[in-house]
């Protein structure tokens, strides 16, 4: 029996809804034909956007979506994606050397913002500072956000179908500038940031500018960048961080040992959060440099998704994929990926004072995705169901928890490399008089019986229990069995006792004052 106390009088911080955000890049099948099917498609769509995906994303309250990359942003010129679609240029896609595809620019600024508004999400644009000038980015902001009729670019926007401003609030000042985004050193990027940011702020003083952070292993980046930016911190609204947990065996046929290795890697995100936050605090930039973890998730070898045999489903390749090449980096999502998502979101909740935003990578037909789609098919993954199960944490007050989370120790032949993971991952929040508690069981073999103690809270006699479970840790959804992994919901007596099946998660929602 695990005993967990929820401290109703110990508030950590508000859980920003944007912690539950998403990332969409022009890579592989994310847009063509994942999100975008075209206005003339027989597939149900809204102005070319896949209707089923829009509706399901709206149902989980997606708060923010990042675009157009990722690495794709490094060579993206926003002007290629405006104006009549038939007149837009075809360009080399950043990922062309990997999958041979070219970019048709069918989806540009208007289509992306339309997608966000249909879903109910805020657009978050990653600006290209690798191959565009500060004036180019200023013009993009002018085009997006200037009031109707005020500037030449605002009038051009109206000509292209949007009289009123697009009101893009979030702007990334570069992406992975330590790598494909310019191959810069920290100090070099910091000086570039100062130059671009002052021009971008001048274009729109209300825009929130996100500084390009490091890969999670490079703590020196935070030291070097923030050291230069500290004197001009007023033009900074967030500090980016990317975190991927690498492959641990086959994405579908992993062993028990590989289950735990994947979880151990995923939980290391806490160390990355604390390390980077230490520099933010050290430079006194807590208000301006809260973390924006705008790429995170599992990165398995590609090829396990349905596009690897799209011909068997009678799926016609996307227009920019005439050879029917499988979608780059597409991977299936199993219960293991779902538990990684639940444990990661719990981590974000428990560090709510440090994190401004997070966007899982990526939305569809790629890495740690919520959807797999092709032709008439559109299915949700276990990761989608975790976001659905935990959506009520958004906007709530994160509460401190304490107690015994257990420990699973894995012994290696080289005992110096033994490692452990907790049995349980837990977070709690309170909003509008309702306590939401999520418990993820990281054990792949044993159920967890938990006794909850609600300190300074009096709970109602009944609660809603939302359970994410399956009969096999390898379980996943396919086009043939789209609902093999799903949620169950029931209302029953609440006495503080919760049983979490192995490799599963449970969210409890109960009125508590």
User: With the C-alpha atoms ordered 347, 351, 355, 357, is the resulting torsion angle positive or negative?
Assistant: positive
Catalytic residue (choose from 176, 192, 201, 330): 176
**The pLDDT of residue 416:** 67
Query: Maximum CA pair distance of the chain?
Result: 70
Q: How is 423-476 classified by DSSP, letter by letter?
A: SEEEEEEEETTEEEEEEEE--SS--EEEEEEEET--B-SEEEEEEEE-SSTT-B
Summarised one tens digit per residue, pLDDT across range 50-64 is 999 999 999 999 999
Omega of the bond leading into 70 within 30 degrees of 0 (cis) = yes
Are the C-beta atoms of residues 48 and 39 closer than 8 Å to each other? yes
Compute the residue count for the chain. Answer: 513
Summarised one tens digit per residue, pLDDT across range 150-162 is 999 999 999 999 9
176 assigned to active site: yes
Q: Considering the domain 15-393 in this protein, what is its CATH number?
A: 3.20.20.80
User: What is the average per-residue pLDDT within 247-270?
Assistant: 95
234 pLDDT band, cuts 50/70/90, is: confident
What global pTM score does this model have? 0.97
CA–CA distance, 71 with 76 (Å, rounded to integer): 9
255 pLDDT band, cuts 50/70/90, is: very high
**The pLDDT of residue 214:** 84
Q: Which CATH architecture has domain 397-511?
A: Sandwich (2.60)
Structure tokens at 244: 């991927």
Domain ranges of the chain: 15-393, 397-511
Which candidate, 128, 131, 129, 156, places its Cα nearest to that of 142? Answer: 156
Catalytic residue (choose from 74, 111, 122, 295): 295
What is the CB-side half-sphere exposure of residue 118 using CA atoms within 13 A?
A: 20
Statement: residue 413 has pLDDT above 70: no
3-state secondary structure 133-144: CHHHHHHHHHHH
Summarised one tens digit per residue, pLDDT across range 86-137 is 999 999 999 999 999 999 999 999 999 999 999 999 999 999 999 999 999 9
């Amino acid at each position: 029996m695990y005993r967990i106390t929820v401290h109703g009088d110990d508030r950590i911080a508000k859980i920003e809804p944007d912690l539950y955000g998403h990332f969409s890049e022009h890579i592989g099948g994310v847009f063509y034909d994942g999100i975008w099917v075209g206005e003339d498609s027989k597939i149900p769509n809204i102005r070319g956007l896949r209707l089923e995906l829009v509706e399901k994303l709206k149902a989980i309250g997606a708060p923010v979506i990042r675009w157009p990359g990722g690495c794709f942003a490094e060579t993206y010129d926003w002007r290629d994606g405006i104006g009549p679609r038939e007149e837009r240029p075809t360009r080399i896609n950043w990922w062309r050397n990997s999958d041979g595809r070219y970019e048709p620019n069918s989806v540009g600024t208007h289509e992306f913002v339309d997608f966000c508004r249909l879903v109910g999400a805020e657009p978050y644009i990653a600006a290209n500072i690798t191959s565009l000038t500060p004036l180019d980015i200023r013009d993009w902001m002018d085009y997006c956000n200037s009031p109707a009729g005020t500037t030449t670019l605002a009038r051009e926007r109206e000509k292209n179908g949007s009289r009123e401003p697009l009101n893009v609030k979030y702007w990334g000042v570069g992406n992975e500038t330590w790598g494909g985004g310019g191959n810069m050193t920290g100090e070099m990027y910091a000086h570039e940031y100062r130059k671009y940011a002052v021009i971008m702020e001048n274009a729109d003083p209300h825009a929130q500018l996100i500084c390009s952070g490091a890969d999670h292993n490079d703590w020196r980046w935070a030291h070097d960048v923030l050291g230069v930016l500290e004197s001009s911190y007023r033009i900074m609204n967030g500090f980016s961080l990317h975190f991927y947990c690498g492959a641990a065996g086959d994405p579908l046929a992993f062993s028990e040992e590989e289950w735990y290795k994947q979880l151990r890697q995923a939980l290391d995100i806490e160390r990355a959060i604390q390390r980077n936050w230490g520099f933010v605090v050290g430079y006194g930039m807590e208000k301006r440099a809260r973390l924006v973890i705008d790429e995170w998730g599992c990165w398995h070898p590609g090829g396990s998704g349905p596009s690897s045999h799209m011909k068997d489903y009678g799926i016609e390749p996307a227009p920019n994929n005439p050879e029917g090449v499988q979608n780059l980096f597409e991977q299936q999502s199993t219960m293991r990926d779902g538990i990684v998502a639940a444990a990661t979101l719990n981590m974000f909740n428990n560090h709510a004072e440090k994190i401004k935003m997070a966007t899982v990578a990526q939305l569809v037909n790629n890495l740690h995705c919520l959807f797999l789609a092709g032709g008439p098919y559109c299915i949700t993954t276990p990761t989608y169901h975790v976001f659905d199960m935990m959506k009520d944490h958004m906007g709530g007050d994160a509460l401190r928890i304490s107690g015994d989370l257990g420990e699973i120790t894995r012994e290696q032949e080289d005992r110096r490399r033994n490692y452990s993971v907790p049995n349980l991952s837990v977070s709690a929040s309170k909003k509008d008089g309702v306590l939401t508690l999520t418990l993820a069981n990281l054990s792949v073999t044993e159920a967890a019986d938990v006794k909850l103690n609600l300190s300074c809270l009096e709970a109602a006699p009944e609660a809603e229990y939302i359970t994410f479970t399956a009969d096999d840790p390898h379980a996943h959804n396919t086009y043939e069995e789209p609902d093999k992994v799903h949620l169950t919901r029931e209302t029953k007596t609440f006495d503080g006792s919760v049983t979490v099946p192995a490799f599963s998660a449970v969210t409890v929602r109960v009125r508590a004052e």
